[in-house]
Structure 1
Amino acid sequence: MVIRIIIKQDSEIVNTTYRTSRSGVFLYSTSLTKCSEILESHMPIKPARRQKKRFRLELNWKHELRDAVMILIGSGVCGIAYSMFLVPHHIVSGGVGGLSIMVNYLTGLPVSIFYIGLNIPIFFLGLKGMGLRYTIKSLAGILAVSGFIFLFETILNIPPALPVALDSATIGGETILSAAYGGAILGIGLGIVFRGRGSTGGTDIVAQFFSKHSNVSVGVWILILDAVIITSWGIIYGIVEADFHAGIIAPLFGVLALIVNTKVVDLVLEGFSYARAAHIITKKPQEVSWAVALEMRRGVTALKGHSYFTDKNREVLYIVLTRREISYLKYVVKQVDPDAFIVISDVYEVLGKGFRPRV
């Protein structure tokens, strides 16, 4: 294909003809001598198919092996949470695991069968939006969790960690503890799987699918799906047990397990806030910087700022340090500039010299 382009450059009319092909654009004829400059300035962007190869991460087998081990360990921990705490006490905390416990309560069939049976269709539902590595790791997580539940529940027949209530009238402290312990252990397992860049399937994939076809965020869809599952469990349990009071109490255990689970997952992923970031606005930025550098052996970064109150440009000092150093930082800064404005904020992770990396 031949394209003729007329360009006005430095009051000269340039009549240029380009011949295009899959490999790029070639100059066919032109009235200017500096053809290459014109060609480079109007060269189209290379095909996206070729650019993707530049940014594709190389496969690191060491990291992939580490991820596989973490997914396997995390799946085993999830299996313990289901087999020893959540399933025996019929604690439904949402998700595919909660649906599997509901079906187990109604039919008596193993939870592992329904866990994998419900997850596989959901997995294929969200398959289009997944990358190859995440797809493999998600499928491995689904199969591993289901396998560990089957191992602990059916083959090894591990008993519940706490006594199980005989009927709805005897539900008490053991069920509350099972909800708390089960939610915490499940959160640890899921957090380990997520840190291995894997997944255990579940309603998260359904929420992502619904979010793509609506104006509702993924987080809201997850909340809606979990609320529907937990509420349905309360209705079903109340009808089967013929106890209205039990139908109200049973979902509360699921809510407790869900809250604990969510908090523990965040804790495993982000860890305790072991570092702090300080923003310091001072009239003596150089003196404060030198004092911090010499007294605390910490680096200081100066950011450009503007005060709209005084209409003056000022430097904002940015410092990352540990929790133990906060009190000493305030002491050092106040010794140099008593009027300094200091803002302390949490930092979940720091990668760099002077701070230990997370595992």
Structure 2
Amino acid sequence: MKKVIKDYFIITIGIILVALSVEYFFIPNNLAAGGVTGFAIVINYYFPFMETGILVIIMNVILFVVAFIFIGGNFGAKTIYASFGLSVGLWFIEKFMNPMAVTRDLMLAAIFGTLISSIGMAMVFNANASTGGTDILAKILNKFFDLDIGKSLLAVDFIVTLLATITFGVDVGLYSLLSVMINGFTIDRIIDGFNSVKEIIIISSNWEVISNYIIKNLERGCTIFDGKGGFTQKDTKMVYTVLGRSQFIKLKNFIKENDPKAFITISEAYDVLGEGFNDLH
């Protein structure tokens, strides 16, 4: 239950960041950076009496109905919450906060708007949800045209940026495309940062003391390997473990006190699946 509450809290913060980036960077500068929100920005230009938030709600409802009919209703409560939460967030900002452009410089709007949006989207994705819209369209294209999900997402975003180019001109269209490209790359890097851990191998004569510290004090597992020194030809033990950053600092200090001659290698692992870390899905 605690994890579920935490996930929904993270999703809520994520959709707030996305909504702020859309309302204060994208919409005032007509940057239709892909997805349903980008398409809503284009439609809003031709029908200004229709608020972007309302348009996103309408399109998401239509997409969920179509997806339910053609690809089944396997969305998950988190995705439905994130999708409609974002729509409500956009509507609320437009209705009560009178949003305006933080900057009129298209380059700055594209870069900073996308960075804020990417952080929010990464938080949503990392909680095992999505904001619907584009993902639903991608799944429909995947089913009926045998396109990979990644290519389908790119195709949808490309169509939206093409419409932005036709509607707002080449400059705005190209900056919208830049936002799409930055967004995809940045989301991946941020998610990697959320999930990154330290992968550690320790060669030490005090391997038993170190492994006990990992298990009892850090409450993590470890694996013991038999090894043999290439130079000394002596049998040795290697301790392998995966730890978070703060846990690694504690372990390093412990080893420094108990075996200053220990040999340690550290590498970065961007995701770990299994007991004690992220669940296998």
Same fold at TM > 0.5? yes
Mark the runs of 5 or more structure 1 residues left unpaired by the alignment: 1-59, 165-173, 239-246, 281-287, 306-314
TM-score by length of 2: 0.71
Mapped partners of 2:195, 2:120: distance in 1: 21
Residue in structure 1 matched with residue 154 of structure 2 by the alignment: 223
Q: Which amino acid aligns with 1:261?
A: N
1:234 aligns with: 165
**d(CA) in 2 for partners of 1:205, 1:88:** 26
> d(CA) in 2 for partners of 1:256 and 1:199?
22
Distance 1:274 1:199 in 2: 21
User: Per-residue deviation at 1:347?
Assistant: 4.0
Q: Tell me the secondary structure at the aligned position of residue 320 of structure 1.
A: strand
Give the corresponding residue for 1:145.
Answer: 86
Q: Structure 1: how far apart are the matches of 2:33 and 2:269?
A: 30
Say whether 1:262 aligns with 2:184: yes
Residues 1:212 and 1:85: Cα distance change in structure 2 (over 3 Å): same
Q: Deviations over 1:285-328 (max 9, x none)?
A: xxx354555579557524699xxxxxxxxx986343557689x9
Q: Which residue of 2 aligns with 1:91?
A: 31
Q: Which moved more, 1:316-325 or 1:73-82?
A: 316-325
Q: Give the secondary-structure state (helix, strand or coil) at the position aligned to 2:98.
A: coil
Match of 1:54?
none
How far did residue 91 of structure 1 move?
Answer: 0.8
CA distance in 2, matches of 1:114, 1:139: 16
Compared CA separation, residues 272 and 68, structure 1 to 2 (3 A): closer
Name the CA distance, whole Å, in 1 between partners of 2:160 and 2:137: 13
Matches within 5 A, 1:18-37: none
TM-aligned CA deviation for residue 94 of structure 1: 0.8
Q: Which amino acid aligns with 2:94?
A: E
Aligned 1:64-213 pairs, distance under 5 A: 64-108=4-48, 109-127=50-68, 128-131=71-74, 134=76, 136-162=77-103, 164=104, 174-213=105-144
* Mapped contact 1:84–1:158 kept (Cα < 8 A): yes
User: Measured at CA, do residues 291 and 260 of structure 1 come closer, stay the same or move farther in structure 2, by a change above 3 Å?
Assistant: farther
Q: Which has the higher contact order (CA 8 A, sep 6+)?
A: 2
Alpha-carbon distance in 1 for matches of 2:196, 2:16 = 28
Aligned letter for 1:253? Y
Give the superposed CA RMSD: 3.9
Aligned-residue identity in percent:
24
Paired with 1:273 and 1:196, the residues of 2 have a C-alpha distance of 11
Greater strand proportion = 1
1:346 to 236, 251, 269: 269
SS at 1:276 equivalent: strand
User: Aligned residue for 2:218?
Assistant: none
Structure 1 residues 292 and 224 mapped into 2: Cα distance closer, same or farther (>3 Å)? farther
- Whole-angstrom CA distance in 2 between matches of 1:192 and 1:98: 20
Matched positions, count: 254
Q: Is the 8 A contact 1:72 1:141 kept in 2?
A: yes
User: Larger Cα Rg: Structure 1 or Structure 2?
Assistant: 1
Is the helix fraction higher in 1 or 2?
Answer: 2
Matched residues in 1 for 2:107 and 2:101: separation?
A: 14
Letter of the structure 2 residue corresponding to residue 154 of structure 1: K
CA displacement, residues 112-141 of structure 1 (integer Å, 9 cap, x when unaligned):
122112221111222354447x1x433332
